[in-house]
Structure 1
Amino acid sequence: MTAGLQTSSGAPAEDSTHIPYVPALDGVRALSICLVMAAHMLPLGPKSLEVNAMVAKMGMSLFFCLSGFLIISMIRRNPDVVTFLTRRVLRIVPALAMYLLILVLLFDLSGRVVLINLLFANNYFTEGLTGGPLGHLWSLSVEMGFYMAIAGLTLFLGSRSVWLVLPAALIVTLIRIDAGAYVNIKTHLRVDEILSGGILALVAQHYGNRIKAFLAPTHRTLWMLSITTVLWVISCRMDGGALNYLRPYLAAGFVGIVMHCQWQPLLRLLQSRIAAYIANISYALYIYHFLTISGWMNTGSDWERYLLKRPLSFALLLALAHASTFWWEHPWQNLAKSLTRKRQKKYAPPPAPRTD
């Protein structure tokens, strides 16, 4: 992500949708990928405390929430399905395809495993997550499943389809409760984390000014942020019990408070250049981070792995993510914009009426 509302996969929001830039969301995006990387690449405490698992769930719930927020905002403003799918597919697939090609060369993946991942079916056909550093790619299948569903609904209902995220989120959460699924990689048991971001987009659009006014006093922001964060953290622990079912909505509450708050110390941190850069390359960081802790990089004693090799892993990851983002992914994004520019002009919303 860069300056601009973030996508689920780290890209800046497309110009065609005229989505207002929310600088603080750069920081939230950066936080989400840092949580995921920390959970997968570092020891965060005694195994008995399961801190790594908790932090991973925190990062993914933020990641998914931001995705839902972006996608529903896009559909709300520009319901052209061709433009939407063209830009989403060319945002997600190029980096994934390159990553799979690298894994084929390094780990000799079977054609079936590659196909399952390219068809975004690995969270149901889980053999697609074995044979190399593939275990994190299930999230892309959840994302793509949501894209296809909202595109299909928009094809028939236009921008009104966005309102279906409300009942859809409730239904998915009820299915999770019935299945006893605190956390699951299957789309129908996880997509409420994306749908909650869609709900946040609708709430922010209609009640954003009221929320901002409510959070204007610093003490109120701190109280709301503290309470929501504590509950969200608990909901990311298996011993958090039934609160796990509310994780999508607590993550959305956290994001909503952050994006509407006016507490300057927090905003300066979230809007920093470092946060913006991490957000910009966040999709590539996510795609490649498992590779940098595989094979030789994950052998040896704890001292060798975490004090010697992990710094090398982070350096390699940063280089790969930077190269992928700016030299490989951006040209594909530019191609997507070029292919859909005429349609964008046709379906772009009219300018807001002047009030002066």
Structure 2
Amino acid sequence: MTESATSSGPSPQDNRTGPTTPANPAATKQSGDHLALLDGWRASSILLVIAGHWLPLNAVLQGLNDFAALLGMAIFFTLSGFLITRFLIDRPEPGPFLVRRIMRILPLAWLAMFALFFADRWAGESGVTWPDLIANLAFYANLPPTRLMPGGEHLWSLCVEMYFYIGIALLVMAGGRRALYLLPLLALAFTAGRVAQHATVSIFTWQRIDEILAGATLSLIYHGMFGPRPAEWLSRINFYVIAAIAVVVTFFDHTALAYLRPYGVAAMVGVTLYHAPGWLRYVFCSRAAAYIAKISYALYVFHVMFAHSWLGSGDTLVKYAKRPLLMLITWAAAHVSTFYYEKPITDYARRLTKGGPRKPLRTY
């Protein structure tokens, strides 16, 4: 939940499904360089994750809680890979990129980690050590032996994100924009590694990063790095068919189908960049979706932390009776954090790394 759909890129006139054929402008509903539809995907990703962690979905269908959280994270990683790669296609400058990413992630992440550490100490549990805190602050707490803190178990995803940022920055530093062509090969290599290790679902960076790399590959296709043909193929896929495939490969997460999850979910998101059903376009491009997307990072960080507190305690009846209060406090904290704590920092990062005018991105 760490990206915005806003990045330097194409204007509506530059969005194309082929060399000379304009794309459906409603499919992306751009304002300047803003891909509004991606806000809807981001909003759906955080809502799915929260539903998987907060609601008794297994009472409806066994495995539904894990499915919702897993699908939400897969969408989130796809968007992250897409938007990060989009930025670097447009501006292959690792320095400004890393400054923006670090100043976007670290302030809230480190605040949360310190809060969890001292809350554990204050409660007298002393289960979290100083080396555990360091592992979380340095974003390697998801690696074996895992050192994720109680109430911060979900922050494993930030570990995957941070090392992707470092890796892709080093890649561009070494080879410029052309080095981005390696991303699809890296995605396949990491998936092959998962297959070899029988890792259908994992929080280890090398066993999960193919979901981000699949989103990065989608960005290369969308921005014409492979020419118009791959985009034409993607634009012909029926949304409902690919959505069903994405659901199946995510739900059966302990079978061989799970190895296809990164690509099924990326294709589902990618198809909507060319032709989205009217109802989805209406919902995903709404103000509500844009607002949820805006505060999604803070929602993601806070929702497990607060659920680990008194707000999530008690037997089943008491715990779920507190859910409305948990939701209210989490949303309020996310709003305050986004607009009064994080925004001044990210605005400063943008001013600090502002470059000159750039050519619009080519898209297919």
TM range (shorter): 0.7 to 0.9
State the distance in 2 between where 1:51 and 1:352 align: 39
Name stretches of at least 5 consecutive residues in structure 1 with no aligned partner.
1-7
Q: Aligned partners of 1:170, 1:99: CA distance in 2, in Å?
A: 34
Q: Which amino acid in the other structure matches residue 250 of structure 2?
A: C
Query: Structure 1, residues 296-334: CA drift from partner, whole Å, max 9, x if none?
Result: 22222322211x211111101101100110111111101
Candidates 142, 145, 159, aligned match of 2:177 = 159
The answer to whether 1:38 aligns with 2:27 is: no
Provide the secondary structure at the position in 2 that maps to 1:128.
coil
Mapped to 2, the partners of 1:265 and 1:47 lie a distance apart of: 25
Pick one of 323, 333, 347 that aligns with 1:310.
323
Counterpart residue identity of residue 23, structure 1? A
Show CA shifts across 1:13-51 (max 9, x none).
Answer: 345998932111110000000000000111102397111
TM-score (norm. length: structure 1): 0.87
Q: Partners of 1:95 and 1:55 in 2: how far apart?
A: 25
Task: Give 1:82 shift.
Answer: 0.6
Change (3 A) 1:171 1:304: same
TM-score (norm: length of structure 2): 0.85
Is residue 2:345 matched to residue 1:332?
Answer: yes
Answer whether contact 2:41 2:75 (CA < 8 A) is retained: yes
Structure 2 counterparts to residues 214-229 of structure 1, below 5 A? 224-229=238-243
Answer yes or no: is 1:173 the counterpart of 2:186. Answer: no
Range moving further from structure 2, 329-338 or 256-265: 256-265
Between the aligned residues of both structures, percent identity stands at 36
Q: Distance in 2 between matches of 1:115 and 1:292?
A: 22
Secondary structure in 2 matching 1:236:
helix
Retained in 2: the 8 A contact 1:234–1:240?
no
| C-alpha distance 215-12 of structure 1, shift in aligned 2 (>3 A) | closer
Return 174-183 or 292-301, whichever deviates more: 292-301
Cα 1:93–1:210, aligned 2, differ >3 Å: closer, same or farther?
Answer: same
The 1:312–1:211 alpha-carbon spacing in structure 2 relative to 1, beyond 3 Å, is farther
Q: 1:278 aligns with which of 262, 274, 292?
A: 292
Retained in 2: the 8 A contact 1:39–1:55?
Answer: yes
Say if 2:255 is the partner of 1:241.
yes
Distance 2:275 2:227 in 1: 11
Paired AA for residue 2 in structure 2: S
In the alignment, structure 1 residue 112 sits paired with structure 2 residue 121: no
**Which residue pairs with 1:261 in the alignment?**
275
- Inter-CA distance 336–71: structure 2 relative to 1 (3 Å threshold): same
Structure 2 Cα separation of the partners of residues 352 and 274 of structure 1 = 28
| Conservation of the 8 A alpha-carbon contact between 2:108 and 2:342 | yes
Matched, 1:300 2:319: no
Q: Matched residue pairs, number?
A: 335
For 1:112, give the aligned amino acid: P
Give, in whole Å, the separation in 2 of the partners of 1:51 and 1:96: 28
Instruction: Summarize the Cα distance change of 1:126–1:27 in structure 2 as closer, same or farther, 3 Å threshold.
Output: farther
Cα distance in 2 for partners of 1:276, 1:167 equals 33
The structure with more helix, counted as a fraction of residues:
1
